[in-house]
Amino acid sequence: MKDILAELESRRDAARLGGGQRRIDSQHAKGKLTARERVDLLLDEDSFEELDMFVAHRCTDFGMEQDRPAGDGVITGWGTINGRMVYVFSQDFTVFGGSLSETHAQKICKIMDMAMQNGAPVIGINDSGGARIQEGVASLAGYAEVFQRNIMASGVVPQISLVMGPCAGGAVYSPAMTDFIFMVKDSSYMFVTGPDVVKTVTNEVVTAEELGGATTHTRKSSVADGAFENDVEALAEVRRLVDFLPLNNRQKPPVRPFFDEPGRIENSLDTLVPDNANTPYDMKELITKIADEADFYEIQEDFAKNIITGFIRLEGQSVGVVANQPTVLAGCLDIDSSRKAARFVRFCDAFEIPILTLVDVPGFLPGTSQEYGGVIKHGAKLLFAYGEATVPKVTVITRKAYGGAYDVMASKHLRGDFNYAWPTAEIAVMGAKGATEIIHRADLGDADKIAAHTANYEDRFANPFVAAERGFIDEVITPRSTRMRVSRAFASLRGKSLKNPWKKHDNIPL
């Protein structure tokens, strides 16, 4: 018996060494943790239950039968994050560059199937050169099996991807189908084909960082939702995110203990909106003053900054926030901000997370670059996402809500449950100056007349009361009481039940 136990331990020790000490040292030298160290940091201490530690590949080409490391380049299993179950896979770059073989894929598929069956999120730690070249089509088939599960799991269990090394080919397409992607600055890259292939095919010379580094994907492409300084920070932040999310689409989001008075009055908010309607102010101040303990988890912080998306808690309950940001492009909606917010709204709706919308929007950004880029279709994504969402929706208009953008931003007409406005709100087809220049075109040469028309328009429309008279605004509220009003609104909606008509699926303008 003793010998058998000793053999088990020695096999386990060998598996834990992955591709060997030399490659582990090289991983550390690049500032990266190993696959196992990452799992240990992600999960609660001693909570990891590993599966398939002894799985080995079956490839016999290119002399591969001589090198069959236990585990085959990926560590899989389940554990807990603050006591709540998650499934995890972590690719081991020290074993064939974390590349995906047929058996490596089977390990990932196994935990994805279990996650679906048992209703828990999947967190994938990606550090992989993509399909294992020696296995050819078998590894491509393995990727497609993973992709199919990503698709089936979408909207059923949250899927979170950490990209923590150079990821190419299939290693980027699987994360692309998950809900969130987080990268690590200076040590992770995502590209369909690397710089060498780019040079061969297009003659373009580009570094890995420029082509697919964290800056590229969080600022330009928006493929990634966030980037962190190092592995440790990235893993800690994913733990924080998981705390906001339900385990699956049949559960409500978790309720955490809170130490903040729901009726807290914030007098400073009464002067947040400047006297001059064209002076910007920071909408994040409002978000943090509404949130429990000022805790805000921002998603896509560095992309389309004219709209803010992220999670807060109210009375301990998760709430998704979408807010126009007047400090960037005056808070206009455009292609990028519409796409960013639409995807966020759909995530919240899929996982029963109520949505708070804070509105200060002068309209859609005009111009040829927007029209040629398809702003009509991209703007429609956000409109569609809000309109189909059945979760509790509470909206607060702080200042401008002009034109189509008023309709889009979770208006009453898109089944907003509570639509509040501050007294500073201006709800109109457009700003007073633009409106006057169109309806009083004949007086354009007379500055005095135009000024009088503009003042008249402002008096009549630059306020929330015309909309409130029609019931499009449920109540005009004082800025200082916003947290209290919004908390009470969401509390009253906890039993909300709203269903869309049966359909196979909708046809959101993609």
The catalytic residue positions are 169-170, 404-405
Instruction: Tell me if 412 contacts ligand HXC by CB under 6 A.
Output: no
CB of 176 to ligand HXC, least distance (A): 10
Residues 14-33 close enough to bind ligand HXC by CB under 6 A? 23
**194 near ligand HXC, rule: CB under 6 A:** yes
Q: Which residue type, as a one-letter code, is found at position 159? A: Q
136 vs 274, beta carbon nearer ligand HXC: 136
Nearer to ligand HXC, 141 or 236 (CB): 141
Which residue, 59, 66, 70, is CA-closest to 16?
A: 70
- Give the nearest distance from C-beta 164 to ligand HXC in angstroms: 12
User: Mask of contacts with ligand HXC, 99-128, x by CB under 6 A?
Assistant: x-----------------------------
Closest CA to 333 of 305, 302, 355: 305
CB of 32 to ligand HXC, least distance (A): 10
What is the C-alpha separation between 398 and 216, in angstroms, rounded? 33
| Nearer to ligand HXC (CB atom), residue 20 or residue 367 | 20
The full DSSP string for 293-346 is: GG--EEESTTS-TTEEEEEEEETTEEEEEEEE-TTTGGG-B-HHHHHHHHHHHH
Find the binder of ligand HXC among 32, 57, 132, 378 (CB under 6 A).
Answer: 132
Judge contact between 485 and 473, C-beta under 8 A. no
Q: How far is the CB of 168 from ligand HXC (least distance, A)?
A: 4
Tally helices (H) and strands (E) across the chain: 19, 17
Is the CB of 135 or the CB of 292 nearer to ligand HXC?
135
How many chain residues are in contact with ligand HXC, going by CB under 6 A? 17
Beta-strand relationship, 122-126 and 84-91: parallel
Q: Give yes or no for a contact between 449 and 443, defined as CB atoms under 8 angstroms apart.
A: yes
Interface with ligand HXC in residues 46-105 (CB under 6 A): 96-97, 99
Closest approach, Cβ 199 to ligand HXC, in A, equals 13
Question: Which sign, positive or negative, has the C-alpha torsion 465, 483, 312, 505?
Answer: negative
Taking residues 139 to 158 in sequence order and writing x for each that binds ligand HXC by CB under 6 A, - otherwise, the string is -x--x---------------
Rg (CA), the chain: 26
For ligand HXC, the closer of residues 143 and 472 by Cβ is 143
User: Binding to ligand HXC by residue 133, rule CB under 6 A?
Assistant: yes
Q: Per CB under 6 A, does 129 bind ligand HXC?
A: yes
The 160-189 contact track toward ligand HXC, x by CB under 6 A, reads ------x-xxx--x----------------
Q: What is the dihedral of CA 210, 213, 214, 220, to 10 degrees?
A: 40
Cα dihedral 305, 306, 309, 313 sign: positive
CB atoms within 10 A of CB 338: 25
E-only strand ranges, 201-247: 226-228
Nearest distance from residue 204's CB to ligand HXC, in Å? 17
Cβ distance to ligand HXC smaller for residue 168 or 383: 168
Residues that bind ligand HXC (CB under 6 A): 23, 96-97, 99, 129-133, 140, 143, 166, 168-170, 173, 194
